[in-house]
Structure 1
Amino acid sequence: MTRPTLVFLATAGSAALIIGALLFQYVGGMAPCEMCHWQRWPHYAILVIGLIALMVPGRLLPLLGALAAAISGGIGVYHTGVERDWWQGPVSCTNGGGGLGGLSSGDLLSTSAPTGIVMCDEVAWEMLGLSMASWNAIASFTLVLIWLWAAKHRV
């Protein structure tokens, strides 16, 4: 395969992941958690990197694409671990932190608390026993390989 074809495939892969996530969010009604958003940002960066890499030769941009995909994959692995209780996630979006000890009776009875907060340690959807975070990790690490293959080509 040629470098432009590989760059296109890797960029299209990230675009497909973003489109899929947005469809789950806006059509399926599954609001993303904080870590879900973290996994999306590298794919947004890949869209820009990929478009530029299609016009600019060299290995730097495909290597940056591989790095961005690896970051998203790494966050996906971390998120999977939080979902599976392998390790503690951010206190801001997990059920495992805090407790009610620091809240006053007024805080407990308040109706002005934020609603619709999506917890990072709860699996909202899974297929074949894997959550969206797990699937993102698999897809992202596959994209890393495609980006590295593209970087191997001179033109």
Structure 2
Amino acid sequence: MITNRNLALLIGFGMALAVGTALGFQHIGGYIPCMLCLEQRTAYYAGVPFMIGTAIAASHGTRPRLVKALFGIGVLLMIWTMGLGIYHAGVEWAWWTGPDDCAGASSTVSEAGSLLDSLSQRPPSCGQAAGRFLGISFAGWNVLAAAMLALLCLYGALRRQPDAKA
């Protein structure tokens, strides 16, 4: 059975992979994120070091209740970004309106000119998906990734197996 330390490291790696993929699409693929895209990343930026801290706590024999609570905070972080992703996907599908300050500009660096030019421009509209893979936008993929990571955190928070030092 996987230890709490290894579970926390797995979740932290998954969070890093999710936000790293978004950063790759931005800096390598040229997709400029909208305001809601950037907000969705915040939970990952907080979650990666938080899960590393959870792994350290679990490996140093911290009380199981505290480790479970730390996993519970991970659940909340992933639910937060999942909710933002659902909201964002709904804006993209025009199911509801987005925030007023999420008006459009270009969606890729190549359309904007140079990277320096794009820094002075407004971010793209939250209502237009920059791209879709298998019919799902980046916001939709964030919902799926966050749901999977939330379930892993929930598993860590609810399981009975006490963690041995690893």
Q: Specify if TM > 0.5.
A: yes
Per the TM alignment, residue 116 of structure 1 is displaced from its structure 2 partner at its CA by: 4.4
The 2-side partners of 1:94 and 1:79 are apart by 13
Cα drift, residue 133 of structure 1: 0.2
Structure 1 gaps, min length 5: 96-113
Q: Which residue of 1 aligns with 2:48?
A: 47
**Which residue of structure 2 aligns with residue 15 of structure 1?**
16
- How do 1:35-114 residues align onto structure 2 when only pairs under 5 Å count? 35-56=36-57, 57=62, 58-94=67-103
**Aligned residues of 1:33 and 1:93 also touching (Cα < 8 A):** yes
Measured after TM superposition, the shift of residue 55 of structure 1 is 1.3
Partner Cα separation in structure 2 for residue 9 and residue 53 of structure 1? 11
2:116 is aligned with 1:138 = no
Distance between the aligned counterparts of 2:50 and 2:162, measured in 1? 17
Paired residue type of 1:51: I
Matches of 1:69 and 1:117, distance apart in 2:
24
Q: How many residues align?
A: 137
TM-score normalised per structure 2? 0.78
Give, in whole Å, the separation in 1 of the partners of 2:82 and 2:103.
20
Give the match for residue 26 of structure 2: 25
One-letter code aligned to 2:96: W
| Counterpart amino acid of residue 37 in structure 1 | L
State the alpha-carbon separation in 1 of the partners of residues 122 and 33 from structure 2.
Answer: 10
Which secondary structure state, in structure 2, belongs to the residue aligned with residue 59 of structure 1?
A: helix
TM-score calculated relative to the size of structure 1: 0.83
The RMSD of aligned alpha carbons is: 1.3
Equivalent position of 1:103 in the other structure: none
